[in-house]
Amino acid sequence: MKRFVAFAVMVTLAAQAVAGIPDIEPQNNTLAGAAPALINPTPWADVGVLRLTPNDTDFIKIWLNAGDFLAVVTYPMDDWFDPDTVIALFDGSDPWALAWNDDAGGSLGSVLRWQSLTPGWYYLAITGYHGFGRDHISYYEGAVHPEDGLYMLVVGVSPVPEPASLFVLGTGVAALLGLRRRRG
Ligand SMILES: [Ca+2]
Ligand SMILES: [Ca+2]
């Protein structure tokens, strides 16, 4: 049974790794049309190769639990500089971004790290650079930009260890030690 469970977990992980983050066009240009939904038991990470075309934006829906850390990286596949990406995270109701980034690490790619305080669906937006206003939804919906090319998208979600689960772990370790002592 244990062996079967381990096998099932391995198959599931492999399937997720192969599936990757798909490029869904053209309906993902607005927050309302965001696709696909990324929801997995935490911690998880996934990667995809997506294309930005002129005026294109990619919205991706992501589920975050309370306390989850979201990390996002875009890697412009033409020598770190093309396409010049801008990324932002929205909660679905506030037009102002929870977090955003344009250029990171000496490239024109973008990096974002953010912690969720409430569980829910969040919306990641990726578009081409076209001036200022990068912290507002209007920059991403109806964007007008010349960027054209492939970028690698890496998304990772990691949980904060809960005091409750640490307590359970601690109790388990204490029980094991107790068992050992009794046997020894
Ligand atoms: Ca798009
Ligand atoms: Ca950029």
Q: Would you list the domain boundaries of the chain?
A: 26-162
* Residue 176, pLDDT score: 60
- Beta-carbon neighbours within 5 Å of ion ligand 2: 84-85, 102-103, 108, 129
- Ligand 2 center–CA 75 separation, angstroms: 10
Mean pLDDT, the chain cut into blocks of 10 residues (184 residues total): 52 52 86 84 92 96 95 94 97 97 95 96 97 97 96 94 66 64 60
The distance of Cα 83 from the centroid of its chain, to the nearest Å, equals: 19
Dist. CA 159 → ligand 2 center (Å): 28
Among the residues of the chain, which ranges form H helices? 2-19, 163-183
pTM: 0.78
**Cα dihedral across residues 68, 75, 127, 131: positive or negative:** positive
User: What CATH number should be reported for the domain whose range is 26-162?
Assistant: 2.60.120.380
